[in-house]
Structure 1
């Protein structure tokens, strides 16, 4: 197994986490050196059971980090390159991998290259980097005026992307999340990933893809994985609607992806409403986490979800603030630290750690009703059974005949299944 098969990520949005200013510091301002605050949480990450730190944007930008100005410079609101390298070193010293977030679909309008094009027009050496929109301006990302789209037919853009990714891989990071990968031609990614992988064969390259043919995109792009939004949606939607048929369908599709790649799975990230706010019944936070950590994939925990943080994403300026809050300097100062949901994360991640084959395990549903679900997950000779009940009365669930022994949760197992208490769940070993 390669190292990504053992990865369980703790995902942080640095600008929010550290309480950074909403907009870039004025020119000449001294760096704020806030990245040390994230380093102070590394022991929490490890105690949770994770072994990867997935960082959101850390590069010089105008506001939220996805309007990058300079990919070679750490955002002064967070610190400088030395701060980032110290964080990477501190993580490495604990056996923690580091993933950076790279935006190569677009840049902020104050990017020096775009500014040069605006000043010199076609005489700029970067004229081919951007695409005129026919109205005297340039093409933007999904209509966002402040995000100027890069021209991915321009070879120099691919050269620049390879240079940036290689620069930071040389300095000790372990991989990249590629923002808005779905908006970039897969053929562009292939030219980049082939060149990066030739120098850094162990780097893990993850693309943000919302929907569509995940497996086909992976094959054409050369990426290792993409974000599994289909499963994310099916988990919370099936729990809210008390309709496990939706989840079962998604698990079948999820299984099929394993023939091509291992998806990146999650219940939350910096772009979506917190799972505790998304679910209509907070008792189902447990069921959601059980599903995440007993199905195939490379899972991530969005910082704060282990404490059952709430936060609703809104489509307005500042609408991400609630899901990207500032964190205290010390984990034990956080509301929810040491509480049942935090301990549940530790327990279920521990189950995952003791059964690393789950990363590529196939799922087979045994019992399926609107409110009860049982399935087995297995790879080779390894197998676990999972039972879930979201009704307010006990439920019976079948499993293949075996000497099932409960290893987590609460259910009365017998040779061919289990009796699950109201709102209950359990994981069993044959």
Structure 2
């Protein structure tokens, strides 16, 4: 269960230790820890905050096994390569395009070398074998319409225990995949759904799979029977799984209050953990009751303590989405939509982002393009979240327009994302600015492909991302460290990240410059004497007591200065105590 894993009582210990040598190394500090209690200063002790997540829409990533394409599937309602053409040669696709688990595994080293340690996959569950004939027909650029689409994305499950035949291979089960990824140092984030199954009504004639659910043995346990939700009779065994009212488009609206539905879903989630899932991303979390998520979280963590989960509550109101993070509601972290909106305003051009359900306020043209806009959404103090350091942070994904930014906009966004509090998530292709500015049916989810990955290392966004992502991967303070802000101006920002626990004693000073010219920094506030090493260049300086750290950060650049050793600066310790009393 997520909790605020910091206690003010540790600060008193820190004050007592302020006389320790500032140049003491992490190794020396570890040796001295045997003689005195270790003083804990950190944003969180949640282990998963050490990860950085690369998000993959599996069918649109890379084809690794052509034998699982099933290009002739669907009969009169085919599922393969359903292209929608738009103006000026633009296009999108709502059919399967060949990406699979083998394609992801084949590129494990690419993802790992880029600086990531976990891969979030869209759902791998079995989806219907035909294109949907109900609903309003989807066209290029359309929204909130499912007619003519397939379940290539994985969110239209017909069997929560069965992988989709387009994703697995004869010699690569999902368990084989997770085992293979772990050999490359990559964890698997499994995407789960509780709100809905597949589209379930409005078809001219009932289609196989749609509105149906099967159990682990392949037995039919629920069937919407192509009925409008208001026609559902919950006294009928096969209709008891559904709410008798609609929710999202024509998707079946699962009744999570039904004990049978709870057993079906939660046992399925446990099954996929057994197959190697290391964490869950939860789709449409706000459409399901807090009571269900509390029940589910308790069940999961009873068998898998501290199992990490984060949900998608597609709303830009921090007070609303923070409710999911509270222990009484299951203690589930969330995707940080308020920061996503702010990042598009600060680093993007005029954003076209809209919510998948048109909920909340969509990002508009920038009001403030400075770093102060980002400081507002950190909620380091007086915030609504159970712990803001455990949020998953991002600037775009598959359900909204990709960030509409220049190359330098992406570089600056990544420099922020990989140094600030939270767990960074990057959507496939963002490392090359793929389909920037496009929404779901305008090319956002177009096929990425092996050639694009092969050429990616030549792209400046890739190069900048790889540099800062690997700095985060090797700097504990950037993963779990308490964030103490210094200065946030229009084009520059500076802050500390501080971690001090049984494993590490480290302070990182982050200097950000998104201007088109170099910027001079001189940081004297809370500065500790001793050796500081800049992680991207390898440059080191030795500071005496009271001396400021001065450096010039190049245009659209970042520097991360690291000092190893316990916190000794009395003013910094007092600032930490004050900040944590208000978190």
Does the pair score TM above 0.5? yes
Over 3 Å counting, the alpha-carbon distance change for 1:383 and 1:239 in structure 2 is: same
The equivalent residue for 1:323 is 444
Contact map agreement 1:373 1:397 (CA 8 A) in 2:
no
TM-superposed deviation, 1:419 = 3.8
Q: Distance in 2 between the 1:24 and 1:183 partners? A: 35
Contact map agreement 1:374 1:398 (CA 8 A) in 2:
no
Deviates more, 1:161-170 or 1:383-392: 383-392
Q: Distance in 1 between the 2:340 and 2:465 partners? A: 17
* Equivalent residue in structure 2 for 1:235, among 340, 343, 353: 343
Contact map agreement 2:224 2:252 (CA 8 A) in 1:
no
The equivalent residue for 1:70 is 159
Q: Distance in 2 between the 1:321 and 1:387 partners? A: 36
The equivalent residue for 2:427 is 302
Contact map agreement 2:102 2:169 (CA 8 A) in 1:
no
Residues 257-297 of structure 1 show CA distances to partners (whole Å, capped at 9, x for unaligned) of 4647611122332223333xx22x43122221111111122
Which secondary structure does the structure 1 equivalent of 2:104 belong to?
helix
Question: After the TM superposition, which residues 109-124 of structure 1 pair with which residues of structure 2 at under 5 Å, given as runs?
Answer: 109=200, 110-112=210-212, 113-115=222-224, 118=227, 121-124=233-236
Q: 5+ residue gaps in structure 2?
A: 1-44, 80-95, 129-149, 201-209, 213-221, 349-365, 542-546, 564-583
Contact map agreement 2:234 2:241 (CA 8 A) in 1:
no
Q: Distance in 1 between the 2:244 and 2:70 partners? A: 29
Say yes or no: does 1:408 pair with 2:536: yes
TM-superposed deviation, 1:23 = 10
Q: Distance in 1 between the 2:540 and 2:186 partners? A: 38
* Equivalent residue in structure 2 for 1:366, among 486, 489, 499: 486
Over 3 Å counting, the alpha-carbon distance change for 1:44 and 1:149 in structure 2 is: same
Q: Distance in 2 between the 1:122 and 1:388 partners? A: 57
Deviates more, 1:338-347 or 1:251-260: 251-260
Residues 192-251 of structure 1 show CA distances to partners (whole Å, capped at 9, x for unaligned) of 111122122253222112334344321233244211112222223123443222111122
Which secondary structure does the structure 2 equivalent of 1:201 belong to?
coil
Say yes or no: does 1:250 pair with 2:377: yes
Q: Distance in 1 between the 2:293 and 2:283 partners? A: 12
The equivalent residue for 1:179 is 283
Question: After the TM superposition, which residues 6-21 of structure 1 pair with which residues of structure 2 at under 5 Å, given as runs?
Answer: 6-18=50-62
Question: After the TM superposition, which residues 50-69 of structure 1 pair with which residues of structure 2 at under 5 Å, given as runs?
Answer: 50-62=116-128, 63=150, 64-69=153-158
The equivalent residue for 1:271 is 399
The equivalent residue for 1:153 is 257
Relative contact order, higher structure (CA 8 A, sep 6+): 2
The equivalent residue for 1:105 is 195
Alpha carbon RMSD of aligned pairs, Å? Answer: 3.4
TM-superposed deviation, 1:97 = 1.3
TM-superposed deviation, 1:115 = 3.2
Which secondary structure does the structure 2 equivalent of 1:326 belong to?
coil
Over 3 Å counting, the alpha-carbon distance change for 1:41 and 1:392 in structure 2 is: closer
Q: Distance in 1 between the 2:382 and 2:238 partners? A: 44
Q: Distance in 2 between the 1:255 and 1:266 partners? A: 22
The equivalent residue for 1:285 is 410
Say yes or no: does 1:131 pair with 2:220: no
Structure-1-length-normalised TM-score: 0.84
